[in-house]
Amino acid sequence: NQTQCNWLTNFETEMNGEGRILVRPSGTEPLVRVMVEAATDADAERYAQSIADVVEDKMGLDK
């Protein structure tokens, strides 16, 4: 749902065209996959963790 994913658009805007983000449910396991390409490995890890935190929050999961 586009309305529910505005937070994802915010991350993409922040990246300023320097990467891409894919968030999708796994087809074989009970989990959500977060894949990020960014200008640096550190940026990719930071974005991936931030996105994972939002997904966990939206799903009501405890860390």
Quote the pLDDT of residue 61: 74
Q: Judge if pTM exceeds 0.85.
A: no
Query: Cα–Cα distance between 48 and 31 in angstroms, integer?
Result: 15
Residues of the chain with pLDDT under 70: 1-4, 63
Q: 6-15 vs 41-59: helix axis angle to the nearest 10?
A: 170
Quote the pLDDT of residue 20: 94
Quote the pLDDT of residue 3: 54
Domain extent for 51: 3-59
Which of helix, strand or coil describes residue 17?
Answer: coil
Which helix H or strand E contains 42, and what residues bound it? helix 41-59
Quote the pLDDT of residue 43: 95
Quote the pLDDT of residue 7: 84
The domain tally of the chain equals 1
* CA-wise closest residue to 20 among 7, 8, 5, 2: 8
Q: Residue 42 belongs to a domain with what CATH number?
A: 3.30.310.50
